[in-house]
Amino acid sequence: MAKNVTIQDISRESGVSPSTVSRVLTGNAPVTHGKREAVEQAIKNLNYRPSHVARSLKTQTTFSVGLLLNGITNPFYSAVACGVEKEANRHGYSLILCNNNENTDRELQYLQVLQDKQVDGIILGPTGQNTDYIRTLAKTTPLVQVDRQVDGADIAAVVVDNQEGGYKATRLLIDSGHRRIAILKWKTNIATMVQRYAGYERALLKSGIPVDPSLIIDASGYTSELASAAVSQYFANNPNPTAIVAANNQLGLGVLDAIRKAGLRIPDDIALVVFDDLTTFSLFTPPISVVKQPATAIGERAMQLLMKQMKAPNEFEPEIVVLPTELIVRESV
């Protein structure tokens, strides 16, 4: 087994005192340029790696944070994770990534695992369940929510203005002359779906268009396959709408599949706007109009809030950061 490199080893290799080596490693005191270079070269020569166990014992921190998201195969959540990781690494923290896949039992299991690993903080995209557990957890563990919020909990969060995004998507279709506008959402009480539907409804009512319950399509799940099945069944049993708002990117993919199966053309037969962007949406023929979320920025901002909370938990006032969405108009309207 290779010998662990110590501060004394670095001292002998660099020709400076152990206290100078310690100052270079911790950055707690100034060191002359020449001595710093000597220590850094010795560290490189000896392939020294600091002991995180010893560091944790000294500081009572693990220098790790947990990130629990709802579906990391979804490019939106992948971009959120990249933003969190970038900001975590900048502060010297490692990231433990967990995926609950919208499963409430798995969410609870992973929250318990992260507690057992004594992470210094958690960034969570909640499923909308386990609310009592999460409220209790937030009293002892720094916690920041992303994308969604737990009802009635005083917990920091980074979200987007979902209602305004739903409004902008629907308004684009109204301004393009559409009146029979359907919305495809996931049949759930998750905040994002509720808020995006509220934006759809607000746009209709503000334009003097009655909300028609027959134009509301509920998928039984969040996958593109379930979305496609819901829209295909709707097309088979109802007069086709002239336009559809899909309430997230996976639902949008399902709408596209159902439109293809029905032999309809976009935008000649039916127009489409999707809440969420995917690289593929700009590559479709025609390209698909979207409401884009700043996914990477959501992750970065969440980690910044978590750092603030971890550094001064007793002084931290939970804040809700609401980021704007961007309407990108392409050729599907």
Burial (CB < 10 A; 0-12, 13-18, 19+), residue 117, is exposed
Please name which of 117, 111, 113, 116 lies closest in space to residue 143, comparing C-alpha atoms: 111
For domain 162-292, the CATH class is alpha beta
Question: How many H-runs (helices) and E-runs (strands) does the chain carry?
Answer: 12, 12
For residues 221-242, b (16+ Cβ closer than 10 Å) or e, as one string?
bbbbebbbbbbbebbeeeeebb
- Ramachandran region of residue 147, left (φ > 0), alpha (ψ -120 to 50) or beta? left
pLDDT for position 60: 59
Q: How far is CA 315 from the centre of its chain?
A: 26
pLDDT surpasses 60 at 297:
yes
Average pLDDT (186-213) is: 93
Please indicate, yes or no, whether the overall pTM of this predicted structure exceeds 0.85.
no
Instruction: Give residue 161's pLDDT band: very low, low, confident or very high (50, 70, 90).
Output: very high
Straight-line distance from the first to the last Cα atom of the chain, in angstroms, rounded to the nearest whole number: 65
Q: What are phi and psi of 160, to 5 degrees?
A: -115, 165
pLDDT for position 2: 45
> DSSP alpha helices (H): ranges in the chain?
7-14, 18-26, 33-46, 52-59, 75-90, 104-116, 131-137, 162-175, 191-206, 224-237, 249-261, 295-311
Burial (CB < 10 A; 0-12, 13-18, 19+), residue 246, is buried
Report how far residue 282's alpha carbon sits from residue 226's, in angstroms, rounded to the nearest whole number.
23
Report how far residue 266's alpha carbon sits from residue 246's, in angstroms, rounded to the nearest whole number.
14
Residue whose structure tokens are 């006032």:
317
315 Cβ neighbours under 8 A, 6+ residues apart? none
Q: What mean pLDDT is reported for the chain? A: 89
- pLDDT per residue over 100-154, tens digit each? 888 899 999 999 999 888 899 999 999 888 889 999 998 889 999 999 888 877 8
pLDDT for position 52: 54
- pLDDT per residue over 52-85, tens digit each? 545 554 555 778 899 999 888 889 999 999 999 9
pLDDT surpasses 80 at 3:
no
Report how far residue 110's alpha carbon sits from residue 243's, in angstroms, rounded to the nearest whole number.
40
For β-strands 320-323 and 216-219, DSSP reports them as unpaired
Average pLDDT (84-102) is: 90
Residue 263 three-state SS:
coil
Cβ neighbours of 320 (radius 10 Å): 13
For domain 62-160+295-325, the CATH class is alpha beta
Structure tokens at 48: 């020294």
Question: Are 146 and 305 within 8 A, CB to CB?
Answer: no
Domain map (residue ranges) of the chain: 7-50, 62-160+295-325, 162-292
- pLDDT per residue over 4-20, tens digit each? 778 888 889 899 888 88
Structure tokens at 82: 């990249």
pLDDT for position 25: 73
Partner residues linked to 122 by β-bridges: 66, 143
Same fold, 7-50 and 62-160+295-325: no
pLDDT for position 50: 63
Most confident of 21-30, 122-131, 159-168: 159-168
pLDDT for position 1: 37
Residue type, 147: D
Can you say whether the dihedral through the CA atoms of 297, 300, 303, 307 is positive or negative? Answer: negative
Record: fold of 7-50: 434 Repressor (Amino-terminal Domain) (1.10.260)
Structure tokens at 158: 């980074």
Report how far residue 283's alpha carbon sits from residue 108's, in angstroms, rounded to the nearest whole number.
38
